[in-house]
Amino acid sequence: MPRIETDICVIGGGSGGLSVAAGAVQMGARVVLIEAGEMGGDCLNAGCVPSKALIAAAKHAQAMRSGAGFGIAPVEPEIDFSAVKDHVFRVIETIAPIDSQERFEKLGVTVLRDWARFTSPEEVQVGETTIRARRFVIATGSRPALPPIPGIDSVTAHTNETIFALREKPEHLVIIGGGPIGMEMAQAHQRLGCRVTVIAGKALPKDDPETAAIVLARLRAEGVEIIEGVHAASVAPGLSVTLDDGRQVTGSHLLVAAGRKVALDRLNLEAAGVAFTDKGVTVGDDLRSTNRRVYAVGDAAGGMQFTHVAGYHAGVVIRSIVFGLPSKAKTAHIPWTTYTEPELAQVGLTEAQAREAHGDRLTVLRQPFHDNDRAQTEDQTEGLLKLMVVGGRPVGVSIVGAHAGELIGLWALAISARIKLSALTGAVLPYPTLNEVSKRAAGAYFSPKLFDNPMVKHVVRLIQRFLP
């Protein structure tokens, strides 16, 4: 049986695993990477990339319907659903070389393409090969969770793993789940000419309700039916979903987007002495498991499930396993965006979380997009930035509106670097840009102190009297 001795063995070639492998090998460590499925993992093949490519196509379709306000006659676009999917897979193919086995082998990584399982606290088996490593990194990600709904096995239940390959246009797509996958896919499919019904449980459950409501209102205005506060109780062939309040929804296709389960089942973690729950590998802030040789990153680590989190985890772990330095992962500065139109973005605390953490010390400022000149020129005035401030520093920002995912970057920096609002108001931003919404929100924190302050008025009058 072949044996490999190495410094670092990474299990899983998705966003987290590839970032660890690329970073560690380029800094001189010997790295083995094990990937059973497709290189690039979920994000490239069945997640971020195909979903955002589909959303982009849907946005084009919608733009053709909505030019009237600009003096451009609206037309109903002719949509070749199969050609839209060609576009989706072209984007995947274009990005794929960056995540490919060839690229990683060129970097010096030994890449093995099979399932990995621990045989002891220091060894992993891949096919016939045994790998003994100084450190292991579990980066096996997550898979769609199919809720135990009676009858779900009797129909074709699409998930993110199959929906992008679907060539025929669903006449009526029924989506179980109102999280980011459900909502992004609902709007994209509606815009691409499908009828869409979402059985949402709780719609956009992790976001600020005030900003999320604006997204839900837009989806409904575009024709998406969102049924909230109910769950799918059973599914029958012919695609009929019975809700737990007795109502029935009948559609042509079913997409299940009801959460994720971590992919740990094939790893035989018991043999490695690695504790885990159904949320993920049990890790400390340093992302180290109960076996000090073994770390977990990305979705497998049981926290926020985003590609940028997997990449951030990789940086934290590399510091520890390559340089032996102490390193900790934090969460307060991690942003996220749901790529509906309008986009929905968050960093730090929501208003409710900030109120609970800081009570009366909290100031909440709201800056609507309709006061922004660029939003007016683009006719994208639907939106709101909510800024949560404590002691002159931002502790959370929720944005709903055009390009919210881009706008949140400034606030991610402000929160991670603990920048004061006064620093933000001191920055000069180009006019007219949407980010002036951010600056105006920061300015609004100071304006009552400056403009509604009798003492300031008194001092200014005094100065004016004596100025030459």
Ligand X SMILES: Cc1cc2nc3c(=O)[nH]c(=O)nc-3n(C[C@H](O)[C@H](O)[C@H](O)COP(=O)(O)OP(=O)(O)OC[C@H]3O[C@@H](n4cnc5c(N)ncnc54)[C@H](O)[C@@H]3O)c2cc1C
Number of residues lying near ligand X (CB under 6 A): 38
Cβ within 8 Å of residue 328, ≥6 positions away: 285, 286, 316
Rounded Cα–Cα distance for residues 348 and 224 (Å)? 30
Other residues' Cβ atoms within 10 Å of the Cβ of residue 325: 9
With beta carbons less than 8 A apart as the criterion, state whether 338 and 185 touch: no
Question: Which H helix or E strand runs over 131?
Answer: strand 129-138
Nearer to ligand X by C-beta: 263 or 349? 263
DSSP, residue by residue, 12-52: --SHHHHHHHHHHHHTT--EEEE-SS-TTHHHHHHSHHHHH
Instruction: Say whether 345 sits in a helix, a strand or coil.
Output: strand
β-strands 240-243, 248-250 pairing: antiparallel
* Using rule CB under 6 A, residue 43 touches ligand X: yes
Cβ within 8 Å of residue 274, ≥6 positions away: 118, 138, 267, 281, 282, 289, 290, 291, 294
Site for ligand X in 263-322 (CB under 6 A): 263, 266-267, 298-300, 305-308, 310
With beta carbons less than 8 A apart as the criterion, state whether 160 and 183 touch: no
Number of residues lying near ligand NAD (CB under 6 A): 27
* Beta carbon of residue 194, minimum distance to ligand X (angstroms, whole number): 17
In this chain, which stretch among 7-15, 176-184, 356-364, 417-425 interacts with ligand NAD, using CB under 6 A?
Answer: 176-184
In this chain, which stretch among 9-17, 218-226, 284-292, 351-359 interacts with ligand X, using CB under 6 A?
Answer: 9-17
* Beta carbon of residue 414, minimum distance to ligand NAD (angstroms, whole number): 20
From residue 357 to residue 376, what is the string marking binding to ligand X with x (rule CB under 6 A)?
--------------------
* Beta carbon of residue 443, minimum distance to ligand NAD (angstroms, whole number): 30
266 binds, among ligand NAD, ligand X, none (CB under 5 to 8 A by kind): ligand X
350 binds, among ligand NAD, ligand X, none (CB under 5 to 8 A by kind): none
- Provide the greatest CA pair distance for the chain: 93
Write the single-letter amino acid at 27.
M
Q: 331 to each of 10, 184, 313, 349, how far by Cα in Å?
A: 23, 24, 10, 10
Q: How far is CA 423 from the centre of its chain?
A: 28
* Using rule CB under 6 A, residue 51 touches ligand X: yes
Site for ligand NAD in 228-257 (CB under 6 A): 231-232, 257
* Using rule CB under 6 A, residue 334 touches ligand NAD: no
From residue 71 to residue 110, what is the string marking binding to ligand X with x (rule CB under 6 A)?
----------------------------------------
146 binds, among ligand NAD, ligand X, none (CB under 5 to 8 A by kind): none
Nearer to ligand NAD by C-beta: 54 or 116? 54
With beta carbons less than 8 A apart as the criterion, state whether 385 and 401 touch: yes
DSSP, residue by residue, 189-254: HHHTT-EEEEEEESSSTTS-HHHHHHHHHHHHHTT-EEEES--EEEEETTTEEEETTS-EEE-SEE
259 known member of a binding site: yes
141 binds, among ligand X, ligand NAD, none (CB under 5 to 8 A by kind): ligand X
298 binds, among ligand X, ligand NAD, none (CB under 5 to 8 A by kind): ligand X
Other residues' Cβ atoms within 10 Å of the Cβ of residue 7: 16
* Using rule CB under 6 A, residue 55 touches ligand NAD: no
Nearer to ligand X by C-beta: 23 or 37? 37
Residue position matching structure tokens 């999320």: 212
37, 41, 170, 182: residue in contact with ligand NAD (rule CB under 6 A): 182
164, 336, 369, 411: residue in contact with ligand NAD (rule CB under 6 A): 336
52 known member of a binding site: yes
Q: How many CA atoms lie within 13 A of 205 on its CB side?
A: 12
141 known member of a binding site: yes
Q: Where are the beta strands (DSSP E) in 320-361?
A: 336-338, 343-348
Nearer to ligand X by C-beta: 111 or 354? 111
Instruction: Say whether 305 sits in a helix, a strand or coil.
Output: coil
13 binds, among ligand NAD, ligand X, none (CB under 5 to 8 A by kind): ligand X
383 binds, among ligand NAD, ligand X, none (CB under 5 to 8 A by kind): none
β-strands 336-338, 31-34 pairing: unpaired
* Using rule CB under 6 A, residue 312 touches ligand NAD: no
Site for ligand X in 109-128 (CB under 6 A): 115-116
4, 7, 48, 100: residue in contact with ligand X (rule CB under 6 A): 48
With beta carbons less than 8 A apart as the criterion, state whether 263 and 141 touch: yes
405 known member of a binding site: no
* Interacting residues with ligand X (CB under 6 A): 11-17, 34-37, 41-43, 47-48, 51-52, 115-116, 139-142, 160, 181, 263, 266-267, 298-300, 305-308, 310, 339
* Interacting residues with ligand NAD (CB under 6 A): 147, 149, 176-182, 184, 199-202, 205, 231-232, 257-260, 305-306, 336-339
Residues of each annotated binding site: 52, 140-142, 177-184, 259, 299
